């Protein structure tokens, strides 16, 4: 289980991020000012990735970048500061990514997964009831018997699995899997979901006026 450090001084946003990360299978460490992060690192504790606000009490997000980099913790800045100067300062200083508030949780989750995969810190195996997804080999098993999925079915399953128990909009699924410029209809998602239900037996429920949610017991 990957551990994510969430450094955000606004309590509601901090809790929302941690809740969604926990639901999707991540372990979280919540902090609300920069000095807390420095104290955490001073103990020798670590994390697989850090989501960091820039405007925080005592030590701001820019002041945390070097210590986090030294601890080999990749950083995603998540901040209200959308000016070019701040973006350049953050990315040129060594941050892996830079997102401006307000933000979409699905986009944040996808960026987290991309960075964890690139840095070799992502989980290679996802287990959902009697389904096992081997992310490294791109193989799916049901009760140890391999299931044949098309590339799009596999990508859709992985996206639903990484965001399990969260309702995902059809349009966002299209953008995440088929690409931001995909010109097809949202019916495409429905067809692939139906195929996944049949092949995996997983509970992928339709959420009225939104899209789909993969329901998995904890």
Render pLDDT for 190-205 as a digit per residue (tens, 0 to 9).
Answer: 899 999 999 999 999 9
**Shared domain check, 106 and 200:** no
Tally Cβ neighbours within 10 Å of residue 23: 14
Task: Please determine, for residue 179, whether its predicted confidence score (pLDDT) is greater than 80.
Answer: no
143, exposed or middle or buried, with CB in 10 Å at 0-12, 13-18, 19+? exposed
State what percent of residues in the chain have pLDDT above 70: 96
**Shared domain check, 136 and 106:** no
CATH of the domain at 207: 1.10.10.10
Mean pLDDT of 81-96: 95
Residues 132-164: pLDDT tens digits? Answer: 999 888 899 999 899 999 999 999 999 899 888
Predicted confidence at residue 178, as pLDDT, reads 73
Mean pLDDT of 24-50: 95
Predicted confidence at residue 186, as pLDDT, reads 63
Q: What's the sign of the alpha-carbon dihedral 100, 104, 109, 111?
A: negative
Overall domain count for the chain = 2
Predicted confidence at residue 106, as pLDDT, reads 86
Predicted confidence at residue 181, as pLDDT, reads 53
Final residue in a domain of this structure, among 118, 144, 169: 118
**Shared domain check, 90 and 182:** no
Residue predicted with more confidence, 124 or 107: 107
**Shared domain check, 92 and 37:** yes
**Shared domain check, 80 and 169:** no
Q: How many residues does the chain have?
A: 218
**Shared domain check, 104 and 139:** no
**Shared domain check, 83 and 131:** no
**Shared domain check, 112 and 85:** yes
Question: From CA 55, how far away is CA 62, in angstroms rounded?
Answer: 9
Final residue in a domain of this structure, among 75, 103, 118: 118
Final residue in a domain of this structure, among 57, 85, 118: 118
Predicted confidence at residue 218, as pLDDT, reads 57
Say whether pTM exceeds 0.85.
no
Q: Pick from 199, 216, 17: which is nearest to 108 by CA?
A: 17
Task: Please determine, for residue 180, whether its predicted confidence score (pLDDT) is greater than 60.
Answer: no
- DSSP string spanning the chain? --EEEEE-SSHHHHHHHHHHHHHTT-EEEEESSHHHHHHHHHTT---SEEEE-SS-SSS-HHHHHHHHHHTT--EEEEES---HHHHHHHHHTT-SEEEESS--HHHHHHHHHHHHHHTT-S-SEEEETTEEEETTTTEEEETTEEE---HHHHHHHHHHHHTTTS-EEHHHHIIIII-TT--S-THHHHHHHHHHHHHH--EEEEETTTEEEEE---
Residue predicted with more confidence, 183 or 117: 117
Task: Please determine, for residue 65, whether its predicted confidence score (pLDDT) is greater than 60.
Answer: yes
Predicted confidence at residue 135, as pLDDT, reads 84
Task: Please determine, for residue 87, whether its predicted confidence score (pLDDT) is greater than 60.
Answer: yes
**Shared domain check, 132 and 30:** no
Question: From CA 181, how far away is CA 160, in angstroms rounded?
Answer: 21
**Shared domain check, 132 and 107:** no
**Shared domain check, 102 and 129:** no
CATH of the domain at 53: 3.40.50.2300
- Which range has the worst mean pLDDT, 51-65, 71-85, 181-195? 181-195
Question: From CA 177, how far away is CA 158, in angstroms rounded?
Answer: 10
Predicted confidence at residue 209, as pLDDT, reads 87
Predicted confidence at residue 197, as pLDDT, reads 95
**Shared domain check, 73 and 17:** yes
Question: Which residues form the domain of 42?
Answer: 3-118
């Amino acid at each position: 289980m990957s551990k994510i450090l969430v450094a955000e001084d606004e309590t509601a946003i901090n809790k929302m991020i941690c809740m969604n990360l926990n639901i999707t299978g991540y372990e979280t460490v919540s902090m609300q000012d920069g000095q807390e992060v420095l104290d955490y690192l001073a103990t020798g504790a670590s994390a697989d990735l850090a989501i960091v606000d820039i405007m925080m009490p005592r030590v701001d997000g820019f002041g945390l970048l070097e210590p986090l980099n030294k601890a080999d913790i990749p950083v995603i800045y998540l901040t209200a500061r959308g000016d070019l100067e701040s973006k350049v300062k953050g990315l040129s200083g060594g941050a892996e990514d830079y997102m401006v508030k307000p933000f979409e949780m699905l986009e944040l989750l996808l960026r987290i997964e991309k960075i964890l995969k690139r840095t070799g810190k992502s989980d290679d195996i996802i287990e959902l009831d009697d389904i096992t997804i081997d992310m490294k080999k791109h193989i799916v098993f049901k009760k140890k018997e391999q299931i044949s999925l098309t590339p799009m079915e596999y990508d859709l399953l992985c996206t639903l699995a990484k965001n399990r128990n969260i309702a995902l909009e059809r349009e966002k699924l299209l953008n995440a899997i088929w690409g931001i410029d995909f010109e097809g209809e949202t019916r495409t998602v429905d067809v692939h979901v139906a195929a996944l239900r049949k092949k995996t037996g997983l509970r992928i429920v339709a959420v009225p006026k939104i899209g789909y949610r993969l329901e998995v017991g904890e």
